[in-house]
Amino acid sequence: MNYLSFYHLLQYGQMTDDSIIQAFLQCLRISFPQTYFLNTNFHRELSQNGWASAFSIFFLHNGSSRYAKKTQSKPSINSDNIVIPIHIHGCHWVALARHIIGSRTFFLYAYDLNSASTFDTIKSIYTTSTTSTCFHPNDAFWIKCHSFTYHPHSNECGS
Amino acid sequence: MATHPNPSPNILLPFMGENIAQVSRWWVAYSILNNTVTIPNSTEQIPDHIYVPPSFNATSIPSNLVPLNDMVNTCFPSLENSLQIELSLSTLTP
C-alpha cells in the first residue's frame, strides 16, 4: 500500500486499490480473531487453477511441502467464519462469507449491483463439485444478501 | 455477514444509506490508520423489523465527511434515521 492508493481511497470516484482491501482485511483479522479473511488472490487462484491449488496455498494443511509450512497461520477448512473477497469484472468487489452455525453451513453473498448472472457464476465456482465437501457440503445454504444499487454508483469501482 | 447469528437476505439493509460509499471509504481509511475496526453490535443496533423496499435501486447523495475537493459536497451526516450514520460517527469520532 502506498500514498497514492490511500489518497485514492479517500477520493470520490476513484477506484479502490487491491492493497487497500488487503490492509483492511488485516485490520479486520486483528479485531475479529475468530474470523478468517482469505487473501484477495484466493478467488483468482480458485477460478483459474482449481480447488487443489487454491487450497494448498490459502488454507492450513499438514505436510512437509514448502506450501504446507507456509500455511500455519491460514484458516482451517473447518473454521466457522471465513470471509472471501472476490474481485470481478476487473473493477468490482463481491463479499462472500462462509458461516457455520451449528451443523449448517451458510454461504452469504453480497454484491451491490444485485446481478443474478454474477451470483450464478460465483455460486458455480464455489459449489461442491468445484471445491470439496469439507468446504462446501452438499446441503450448504446460499443466501443472497440484498443491498441497494445506488445511482450515481459512487462506489469502489471508480464510477 | 460472517458472524451474524441469524443470517437472512435482509441483514445488510439497515446499514444502507445515500452516502454509504463515502462513509465506507472513510471508515476503511480510519480502520487502517488505527489498525482496528469498529463494527456496530448487531444484536443492539439492528432493529427487530427490517423494512424491505419494493425496489433495490436508490439515489446516492455523495458527500465527503471533511473537505477534500470541489467534486463532492461536504457535510457531516445528520443523526436521523440510519444505522449507517451511527456507524460513520462512531468510527470517525475519537
Look at strands A104-110 and A92-101 and give their pairing: antiparallel
> Is the CB of A9 less than 8 angstroms away from the CB of B25?
yes
| Count of alpha carbons within 13 angstroms of residue A41, beta-carbon side | 9
Residue ranges of chain B whose pLDDT lies below 70: 40-48, 68-94
Q: Which chain A positions have a beta carbon within 8 Å of B67's beta carbon?
A: none
Q: Which of A21-35, A40-54, A130-144, B64-78 comes out lowest in average pLDDT? A: B64-78
Here the CATH number for the domain that contains residue A129 is 3.40.395.10
Residue written as grid cell 447469528: B5
- B74 within some domain: yes
Instruction: Name the nearest CA neighbour of A85 among A146, A124, A36, A30.
Output: A36
- B47 within some domain: yes
Would you state the pLDDT for residue B70? 54
- B55 within some domain: yes
- A158 within some domain: no
* Whether the complex's predicted ipTM surpasses the cut of 0.95: no
In the β-sheet with A92-101, what is the strand arrangement from edge to edge?
A35-37, A81-88, A92-101, A104-110, A141-145
- A35 within some domain: yes
Q: Is A115 on the interface with B (CB under 8 A)?
A: no
- B51 within some domain: yes
Give the domain extent around B33. 19-92
- A155 within some domain: no
Would you state the pLDDT for residue A86? 95
How far, in Å, are A7, A8, A15, A33, A85 from residue A4 at the CA level?
5, 6, 11, 29, 22
Q: Are A35 and A82 contacting, i.e. CB atoms less than 8 angstroms apart?
A: yes
Would you state the pLDDT for residue B79? 44
Cell numbers describing residue A85:
473477497
Which of A146, A151, A153, A159 is the best residue to mutate to test the B interface, defined by the most B CB atoms within 10 Å of its own CB?
Answer: A146
Q: Is A10 on the interface with B (CB under 8 A)?
A: yes
Could you give the CA distance from residue A14 to residue B50 in angstroms, rounded to a whole number? 32
Would you state the pLDDT for residue A98? 96
Helices A42-49 and A116-125, interaxial angle, to 10°?
70
Count of domains observed in chain B:
1
**pLDDT at residue A70 greater than cutoff 50:** yes
Count of domains observed in chain A:
1
How far, in Å, are A39, A74, A88, A89, B35 from residue A118 at the CA level?
20, 27, 9, 10, 32
pTM above 0.90?
Answer: no
Which of B13, B27, B28, B50 is the best residue to mutate to test the A interface, defined by the most A CB atoms within 10 Å of its own CB?
Answer: B28
What percent of chain A shows pLDDT beyond 70? 99
Q: Which residues contact A136 (CB under 8 A, 6 or more apart)?
A: A98, A105, A107, A126, A127, A128
- B67 within some domain: yes
- B36 within some domain: yes
- B8 within some domain: no
